[in-house]
């Protein structure tokens, strides 16, 4: 797929301009043109692109290619054009009759099965931290899910659309595009209501709470998760449907995350004890609903949250004690990676910098796109760098470079 630089080079050559000639006409540096055309950078400021487009006598939007990689790599100037296609998919223009304006004709709307498979593939990319590819395919995925759900107008169709918008929300939160994430959460919530399924509605609470936590809206996040957990709480745990128990347990984890960050460690611990009881019940009969939140619930997930709460509370020894007994196999990579950051923090806090750097180095190797978006990881690296008296080693230097490039 063509990038911004590919479009600039093609249009420049078509008009018989050298790189120097275009730079002069656009009143930008030759280095800017060279870096864009060589794909050394996949983004530029909107004002810069406007100047280049004007020099090429084309609309600015004619230069927008696959800039999603820039957002995934957190290049400093990636917004807003790198997410333009996703913004269009999330906020389509609608006429007075409510219909999407300029929507492509769909003689054969997507089927429920094809849309469900598309969501599954995109979820796999997200959990593998392949954010660049996920960002690139999300606009088409959201359009597919929207058209499918609107044409079928059934509960299962809206449930699949809900999952697509949840995925968009999680990815946008990860890359800190919070304004668009709110739009995605709102649409996911609307689709969940249309689906008429309690489990689907509960699943939206996850990204909604995460977004609120990222915005330091701790009280609201806690209230949302707690009210949803109360609504899902089974009257008798031993006889409750495993899927509902799993949803209840996951909602308790979300509530505990808010409580821990709101300096209420006792409340967080109480919620996690309840979640642990739910995990024991679910462990006897694993669930498979197709909802990542519900299907991913386990005793291990409860313990990773206990470790996270211990880290927030400043108890590195407890983090390492819990980590020593944890089995992370089978857990979503993003959850596993997040727990390993707590382990790295615990090692760094205890002064065991070599172990901390080793854990961070593993994460850099396994999920560089994910890691560069984690301010927590950058804080740990800064903590280690400030504490070391010897020269910075190769792995620590590579970690510093990863974050300094943002």
| Burial class, 324, CB count within 10 angstroms (exposed 0-12 / middle 13-18 / buried 19+) | exposed
Neighbouring residues of 323: CB distance < 8 A, sequence distance ≥ 6: 307, 339, 342, 343, 346
Please compute the mean of the pLDDT values over residues 161-180 and round it to a whole number: 94
Residue 121: pLDDT over 90:
no
Q: How far is CA 34 from the centre of its chain?
A: 31
The reply to whether the predicted model has a pTM over 0.75 is: yes
Rounded to 10 degrees, the C-alpha dihedral 298/302/303/305 comes to: 140
Alpha-carbon distance 20 to 27, whole Å? Answer: 10
Is 94 in a helix, a strand, or coil? strand
Cα 11 to Cα 8, 15, 64, distances in angstroms? 5, 6, 12
Neighbouring residues of 297: CB distance < 8 A, sequence distance ≥ 6: 246, 247, 249, 250, 253, 278, 279, 282, 287
Residue 355: pLDDT over 80:
yes
Q: Higher-confidence residue: 297 or 3?
A: 297
Alpha-carbon distance 112 to 14, whole Å? Answer: 44
Question: Which pLDDT score is estimated for 79?
Answer: 53
Please compute the mean of the pLDDT values over residues 238-249 and round it to a whole number: 92
- C-alpha Rg value of the chain to the nearest Å: 23
Q: Higher-confidence residue: 310 or 118?
A: 310
b (16+ CB within 10 A) / e for 134-162: bbbebbebbbbbbbbbbebeeeebbbbbb
Q: Higher-confidence residue: 83 or 162?
A: 162
| Burial class, 44, CB count within 10 angstroms (exposed 0-12 / middle 13-18 / buried 19+) | buried
Please compute the mean of the pLDDT values over residues 141-153 and round it to a whole number: 91
Residue 391: pLDDT over 60:
no
Question: Which pLDDT score is estimated for 65?
Answer: 56
Task: Encode pLDDT of 364-379 as tens digits.
Answer: 999 988 998 899 999 9
Cα 284 to Cα 59, 112, 289, 290, 405, distances in angstroms? 60, 31, 16, 19, 47
Please tell me the least confidently modeled range out of 42-56, 125-139, 150-164: 42-56
Question: Which pLDDT score is estimated for 70?
Answer: 61
Helices 218-232 and 242-261 sit at what angle, rounded to 10 degrees? 160
| Of residues 369, 363, 329, the one with CA closest to residue 343 | 363
| Burial class, 76, CB count within 10 angstroms (exposed 0-12 / middle 13-18 / buried 19+) | exposed
Alpha-carbon distance 87 to 40, whole Å? Answer: 25
Question: Which pLDDT score is estimated for 66?
Answer: 56
Question: Which pLDDT score is estimated for 76?
Answer: 57
Alpha-carbon distance 239 to 236, whole Å? Answer: 6
Please tell me the least confidently modeled range out of 46-50, 52-56, 278-282: 46-50
User: E strand or H helix at 322, and its extent?
Assistant: helix 316-325
- Measured in degrees and rounded to the nearest 5, phi and psi for residue 94 equal -120, 145
Place of tokens 């960050």: 261
User: Per this entry, what is the length of the chain?
Assistant: 406
Please tell me the least confidently modeled range out of 118-132, 204-218, 341-355: 118-132
| Of residues 293, 281, 72, 45, the one with CA closest to residue 174 | 72
Do residues 110 and 148 make contact, with C-beta atoms less than 8 angstroms apart? yes
Task: Encode pLDDT of 68-109 as tens digits.
Answer: 666 666 655 555 555 788 888 899 888 888 777 765 555 577
Alpha-carbon distance 170 to 86, whole Å? Answer: 13
């Amino acid at each position: 797929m063509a990038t911004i630089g590919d479009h600039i080079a093609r249009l420049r050559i078509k008009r018989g301009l050298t790189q120097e000639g275009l730079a002069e006409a656009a009143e930008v540096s030759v280095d800017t043109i060279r870096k864009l055309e060589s794909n050394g950078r996949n983004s530029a400021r909107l004002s810069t692109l406007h100047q280049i487009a004007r020099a090429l006598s084309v609309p600015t939007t004619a230069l927008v290619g696959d800039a999603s990689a820039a957002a995934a790599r957190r290049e400093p100037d990636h917004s807003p054009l790198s997410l333009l296609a996703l913004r269009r998919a999330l906020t389509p223009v609608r006429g007075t009759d409510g219909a999407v304006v300029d929507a492509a004709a769909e003689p054969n709307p997507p089927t429920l099965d094809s849309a469900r498979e598309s969501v599954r593939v995109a979820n796999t990319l997200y959990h593998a931290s392949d954010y660049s590819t996920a960002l690139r395919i999300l606009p088409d995925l959201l359009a597919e899910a929207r058209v499918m759900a609107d044409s079928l107008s059934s509960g299962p169709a809206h449930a699949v659309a809900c999952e697509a918008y949840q995925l968009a929300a999680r990815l946008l939160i990860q890359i800190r595009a919070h304004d668009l994430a709110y739009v995605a959460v709102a649409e996911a919530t609307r689709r969940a209501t249309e689906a008429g399924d309690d489990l689907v509605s509960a699943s939206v609470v996850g990204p909604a709470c995460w977004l609120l936590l990222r915005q330091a809206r701790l009280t609201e996040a806690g209230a949302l998760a707690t009210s949803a957990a109360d609504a899902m709480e089974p009257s008798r745990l031993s006889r409750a449907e495993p899927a509902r128990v799993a949803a209840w347990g996951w909602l308790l984890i979300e509530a505990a995350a808010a409580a821990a960050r709101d300096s209420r460690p006792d409340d967080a611990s109480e919620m996690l004890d309840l979640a642990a009881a739910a995990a024991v019940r679910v462990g006897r009969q694993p669930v498979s609903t197709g909802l990542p939140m519900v299907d991913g619930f386990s005793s291990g997930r409860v313990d990773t949250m206990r470790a996270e709460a211990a880290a927030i509370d400043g108890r590195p020894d407890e983090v390492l004690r819990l980590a020593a007994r944890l089995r992370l196999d089978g857990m979503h990579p993003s959850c596993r990676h997040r727990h390993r950051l707590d382990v790295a923090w615990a090692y760094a806090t205890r002064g065991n910098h070599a172990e901390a750097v080793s854990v961070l180095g593993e994460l850099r190797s396994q999920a560089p796109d994910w890691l560069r978006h984690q301010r927590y990881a950058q804080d740990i690296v800064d903590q280690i760098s400030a504490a070391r008296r010897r020269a910075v080693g190769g792995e620590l230097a590579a970690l510093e470079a990863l974050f300094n490039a943002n």
